[in-house]
Every structure is written in structure tokens, then in C-alpha cells.
Structure 1
Amino acid sequence: MSKYVIGDIHGGFKALLQVLKKVAIENEDQLIFLGDYVDGWSESPQVIDFLIDLNKKYNCIFLRGNHDALLCDYLKNGNYTEEWFIHGGKSTLDAYKTLDSVTITQHIQFLENLKDYHLDNFNRLFIHAGFTNIKGIEFEYFKPLFYWDRTLWELALAFDNNLKVSDNNYPNRLKLYNEIYIGHTPVTRINKTIPVNKACIWNLDTGAAFSGPLTIMNIDTKEFWQSDPLPQLYPNENGRN
């Protein structure tokens, strides 16, 4: 059995189809999605429809991203902020205006059932954004940090590779898990478009919401496959740029 992790999709349905076609996925394989299925490109509803069907065929784990939480609140309660609207929410709101109530109800159920994190048998943590408690995820005092936090990735970027685990100033959060897989903060911010490994953390958000590609990676071998850059797949749209 192989395990694959997929980065932030942001409504890029065409990119999702591309990367899945590049991998010879078998029935017993596991697919772990790091969240942010929506907001950016115009096909957020198609992404969720596809993931609902994909879950019937494969062993899938769907994590909650901050954009997914925002969409869920909107679909259930009609709430949205101007900040969300200008950071990808507008394309999603426009797309959902065309959907029937049955489909919207199915999407709400999907969004409500997303997991905050996944910890596997090899002490590998999969989480959309991060956590702040130095004792780990079980002790996090504010659960939305699982899909909003950026300090874990900032810590990894600033990490001194000369430190040893036994050193007093070795960050406690980096001692807890063998590996941590995140999305949320695109690596395009550090001029990368491939998965980036810092300390024990792998960042799989390769900028699909903006100018980068979508990425799927084999967790064990670290081999990865990417879609075309999203602006090439949606030439008449701006994504979140």
C-alpha cells in the first residue's frame, strides 16, 4: 500500500485531475488531502463533487483548511467577510449560486466532516496549517489554529540545522512528530514551486491558488508529481492573484 499527500487545490479541478492521472493509484492506497479545496479558481464545487465520489473508491482522508471552514460557515449561515471575498471567496460564491439545494446540502456534510488533523502509525502528522502548543495537537487550546496557524512553518524556516535534539533551545514543537505535512502557506513566498522540507516539516502548498502547480507526493519515497501551473489551466481567470 502506498500513501500519497495532496496539497492545497483552491478550486483547481483541472489540476486535480492532472495530478491524479500521473500517479498509478491502486485500490488499497491512501490519499491524504491537506485542505483548502475551494477559493481561487472557478471550479470549487466540481472539486468537492469529485472528492465525494473519490472517497467511495479509495481510502481518503480529508483535512480541513481555513477556506473550507469559511465556505462551510457561508453555506450554513450566510456569513462571509470582505477579506474572504477578496481572497478567493468571490469565485466560490459565484459558483455556488448555480447549484441546487441537494448538492449544497451534500457539500455542507462533506465540509462538516473534514478532520482537523491526521496522525498515522509512524508518528507522522498531517495538518493544514499547524499548531502552537508545545505539547502537541492534543493540547491545542484553540482548535481553529489547526487550519489558521502560520507560526509552525515560520519556525521551520528559521530553524538552525546545527541544533541537536538534546540542545536546550531545540524547538519543542519539532521534537513531537517524526514528520509533519502541511499546506496553507504557499512555498512560492520563498520562490519555490516544489515541496519544501525544513526540519521535520514538509510543505505541500506549491502555490496552486496563485501561479504555481498542484502537487501530489508519495509519503514514503518522497517522489512527487505536479500539474501545469494553474494560470495555464485557467487562462481567462486570475485565481487569487
Structure 2
Amino acid sequence: MRILAIGDIHGCSVAFDTLMKAVKLQPTDRIITLGDYVDRGPDSKGIIDRLIGLHQTGQLVALRGNHEIMMLDAYYYPHRLEGWLACGGRETLASYATSPKKKIKLDNIPDEHFDFIANICQDWWETEEHFFVHGNVNPHKPLSQQSGHDLFWTRFYHAQPHCSGKTMICGHTSQKSGQPISFGYAVCIDTWVYGKGWLTCFDVNSGQIWQANQKGEKRTASIEEFSIYCPTSSSVLA
């Protein structure tokens, strides 16, 4: 069974569809999406639709990201709406508009989508050798005791080995190079797809990387090429 982690998607459905075709999903694969499905990119609605479909197959473990947290906050606490809109929420609401001339509003988002984000998505997930979060963790606390701030908002830059001894797989900290980064004990695969980067899928067992962008281009590599402990290795994807 392959365990495939996918970084921050941000409404980029062209990149997502291209990536899924490149990966050639098998019935035995387990997919872990690391959050930030909405905002920034043009098709948040389409991405949530696709993830709900994947979840119905039983193959998907979907995590929440900080952008889903902001979206839920805007839904439950109207005074936080403007803050979300300023962080990419406008693009999300536009993807739900029924016509270009109609006012974009939260009411256009179906209950099924809010239910997916609030009740289906998880804060973290783990296997025997890896754990998956959106942002980062406190290295001294078990996953069940992590704060929301660390899980959703803390950046990758100062990631440390976790007390569990497991390898952390995360997103959130966009790598403007378009390349993932590995510390060995921690790997970040947010590669700035909504900007000029790529959407990344990482097979955590084999180390294979697939990437796709909003132009429909794709490329592959190995995570070993992006380890900070291998300064002489190539960082150019084939």
C-alpha cells in the first residue's frame, strides 16, 4: 500500500487533476491531504467536491489547514468574515458564485462542504513511522496534546525531531522555490502551487515525488534530492 501525502492545494484544480493522473492512483493507496484546500486559487469549490468524492472511496484522510480554520471562523463568527476575505476568502467565495453578476456570499457554500471541513477533516494523522500535520508540532508533546496554534499556524523553519521518533510530513510553509524540503526527521511539501510553484505528492515509503502545476505540466523526483544533509545532490527535477 502506498501512503501518498499531498501538500497545500489552494483551489488549484488543474494542478490537482494533473497530479492525480500522474500518480496513477491504485485502489490500495491511502491519500493524506495536508490542508489548505481553499483560498488563493480559482477553484476551491471544485477541490472540495473532489476531496468529498475521494473520501467516499475510503482512501482519503483529509487534514484541516489554517485556511479551513479561517473559513469556519467566518461561518460561525460573522465579525471574522473580513479577515478571511483578506486572506484568500474572496477567491473561495467567487468559486461558489452561481453567476458572475450575483453577489458572492457564504450562503452559496453548501452545507456538505462545511460538514466536510468541520467534521470529516482531522487535525493530524499517524502511521507507525510517520505523522501528518498541516503546520508543525511542539516536539516535546504527543500529538494528542498539541495546540491548535502549533498544528495550524507554526511554520516549518525551526522544526525539531519529535519525541515519538516518527518523521513529520507537513505543509503550510510555502517553498517559493517550488521544491519540497527535507530535514530527514521532517519534510515540508507545500510548494506554492497557487503562485509560480507546484503541487506536490510524496510517497512517504518509497520517497518518490510527483509534482504538477496550473499549466498542466508535471515532473518527478526523489525526496533525497531535497535533503539539507545532501548538499551535493541535484535539486533539479526531471
Q: Same fold (TM over 0.5)?
A: yes
Partner of 1:182: 170
The one-letter code matched in structure 2 to 1:147 is F
State the 1:139 CA deviation.
Answer: 2.5
Q: Which residue of 2 aligns with 1:14?
A: 14
Q: Which residue matches 1:90?
A: 90
Report the RMSD for the aligned CA atoms in angstroms: 2.2
Distance in 2 (CA, whole Å) between partners of 1:208 and 1:79 is 30
What amino acid is aligned across from residue 35 of structure 1 in structure 2? G
Question: Which amino acid counterpart does residue 131 of structure 1 have in structure 2?
Answer: V
Question: Pick from 186, 202, 205: which aligns with 1:217?
Answer: 202
Q: What is the count of residue pairs matched by the alignment? A: 209
Could you say which structure has the greater relative contact order, defined with CA pairs below 8 angstroms and 6 or more residues apart?
1
The 8 Å contact of residues 125 and 177 in structure 1, kept in 2 or not, is answered as no
**What amino acid does structure 1 have at the position aligned with 2:186?**
I
The CA distance in 2 between the partners of 1:28 and 1:20, in whole Å, is 15
- Corresponding residue number in structure 2 for 1:146: 151
1:142-195 residue CA offsets vs partner (Å, 9 max, x unmatched): 334311112xx2214xxxxxxxxxxxxxx5x4443321000000111xxx3122
> How far did 1:131 drift?
1.9
Normalised TM-score (structure 1): 0.79
Instruction: State the partner residue of 1:119.
Output: 126
Deviations 1:65-124, CA, capped at 9 Å, x for gaps: 0001111222344353544323212111222343996961000110012100001122x1
1:208 maps onto 2:186 in alignment: no
Match of 2:142 in 1: 136
- Residue in structure 2 matching 1:226, options 199, 211, 227: 211
Which structure 1 residue ranges, 5 or more long, are not aligned?
Answer: 157-170, 234-241
Cα 1:103–1:86 change in 2 (3 A) is closer
Percent identity between the two aligned chains: 28
For the residue of structure 1 that corresponds to 2:80, the secondary structure is coil
Determine if contact 2:201/2:209 at 8 Å carries over to the other structure. yes
For 1:109, the equivalent position in structure 2 comes to 115
Q: How does 1:66-81 map to 2 (within 5 A)?
A: 66-81=66-81
- Give, in angstroms, the shift of residue 210 of structure 1: 1.6
Structure 2 unaligned residues grouped into runs of 5+: 99-104, 217-238
